[in-house]
């Protein structure tokens, strides 16, 4: 007979096993394209994603540091930029004024609609696309920069690897990508509370190198949640 105590111990053991890292880099349905589309399609976007900025220890200082030392450092002016997962346009707000061309892709139709509404009248340089978890439609060597923040923390490892492969294909020589993601084995108390996928920083390093890209840095200081990582990588060659 299975008692409540036995059941509690089994659940506790399962959670400890999960958090210990033995399930790292494993896909889960909760972080699939289908599940993410359902979640963010029903999400209340009235705060436009700024609610996550306020979760940083010092929101204003954190935002200023991230913009100066990551976004503006790598997303330089007059480039053709791809933003993966703009949500309600939280980072698009900073990318749109500096981009020669800004391509927005999101798996959630609601998010693309919100971005169209937000940037109406100032979106001559923006292209909007609803995708099904892949960017195969983007031509080879057509993008200078890629930006994605608060997206890949929710994406399965295998999907992240596919994105990195495609980013390698679409980047021009010398092009740079900045991806914010989780690192399952670096969270204190596990990653469940932040709806983090089981991807790790070391796995993303492997994805980058297997795609023939150059790892520039993995930054743990400019994230708003401890345990997250920002990986910057570059395609070999010189940018014209």
- Over residues 88-104, the mean pLDDT reads 98
**Tokens 């330089």 label which residue?**
76
Three-state SS at 173: strand
Contact residues for 116 (Cβ-Cβ < 8 A; gap 6+): 123, 128
What is the per-residue pLDDT for 21? 46
Q: Provide the percentage of residues in the chain whose pLDDT is more than 90.
A: 79
Higher pLDDT, 11 or 161: 161
- DSSP conformation letters of 61-99: HHHHHHIIIIIHHHS-TTEEEEEE--TTTTTHHHHTTTE
Per-residue confidence at 23, pLDDT binned at 50, 70, 90?
Answer: low
Among candidates 119, 151, 124, which has minimal Cα distance to 49? 151
What is the per-residue pLDDT for 192? 53
Question: How large is the angle between the packed helices 201-210 and 157-170, nearest 10 degrees?
Answer: 40
- Over residues 109-132, the mean pLDDT reads 98
Give the separation between CA 111 and CA 130, rounded to whole angstroms: 9
Per-residue confidence at 62, pLDDT binned at 50, 70, 90?
Answer: very high
What is the per-residue pLDDT for 189? 52
What is the per-residue pLDDT for 194? 72
Query: Residue 221 corresponds to which tokens in the numbers above?
Result: 């200081």
Contact residues for 34 (Cβ-Cβ < 8 A; gap 6+): none
Give the separation between CA 160 and CA 208, rounded to whole angstroms: 10
Query: Residue 72 corresponds to which tokens in the numbers above?
Result: 């503006």
Give the separation between CA 138 and CA 67, rounded to whole angstroms: 26
pLDDT at 234 over 50: yes
Indicate the DSSP class of residue 151: S
- Over residues 218-225, the mean pLDDT reads 95
Give the separation between CA 85 and CA 105, rounded to whole angstroms: 6
State the maximum Cα–Cα separation within the chain, in Å, rounded to a whole number: 71
| pLDDT tens-digit readout, 24-48 | 888 999 999 999 999 999 999 999 9
CATH of domain 26-234: 3.40.50.150
């Amino acid at each position: 007979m299975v008692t409540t105590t036995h059941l509690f111990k089994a659940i506790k053991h399962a959670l400890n096993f999960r958090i210990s890292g033995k399930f790292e880099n494993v896909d889960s349905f909760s972080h699939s394209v289908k599940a993410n589309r359902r979640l963010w399609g029903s999400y209340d976007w009235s705060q436009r994603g700024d609610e996550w900025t306020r979760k940083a220890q010092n929101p204003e200082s954190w935002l200023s540091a991230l913009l100066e030392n990551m976004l503006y450092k790598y997303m330089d002016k007059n480039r053709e930029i791809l933003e993966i997962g703009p949500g309600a346009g939280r980072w698009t707000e900073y990318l749109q004024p500096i981009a020669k061309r800004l391509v927005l892709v999101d798996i959630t139709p609601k998010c693309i609609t919100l971005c169209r509404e937000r940037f109406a009248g100032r979106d001559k340089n923006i292209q909007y696309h609803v995708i099904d978890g892949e960017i195969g439609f983007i031509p080879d060597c057509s993008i200078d920069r890629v930006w994605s923040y608060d997206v890949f923390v929710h994406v399965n490892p295998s999907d992240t690897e596919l994105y990195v492969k495609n980013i390698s294909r679409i980047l021009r020589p010398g092009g740079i990508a900045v991806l914010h993601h989780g690192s399952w084995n670096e969270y204190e108390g596990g990653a469940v509370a932040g709806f983090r996928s089981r991807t790790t920083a070391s796995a993303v390093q492997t994805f980058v190198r297997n795609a023939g890209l150059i790892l520039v840095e993995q930054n743990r200081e400019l994230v708003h949640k401890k345990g997250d990582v920002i990986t910057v990588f570059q395609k070999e060659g010189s940018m014209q």
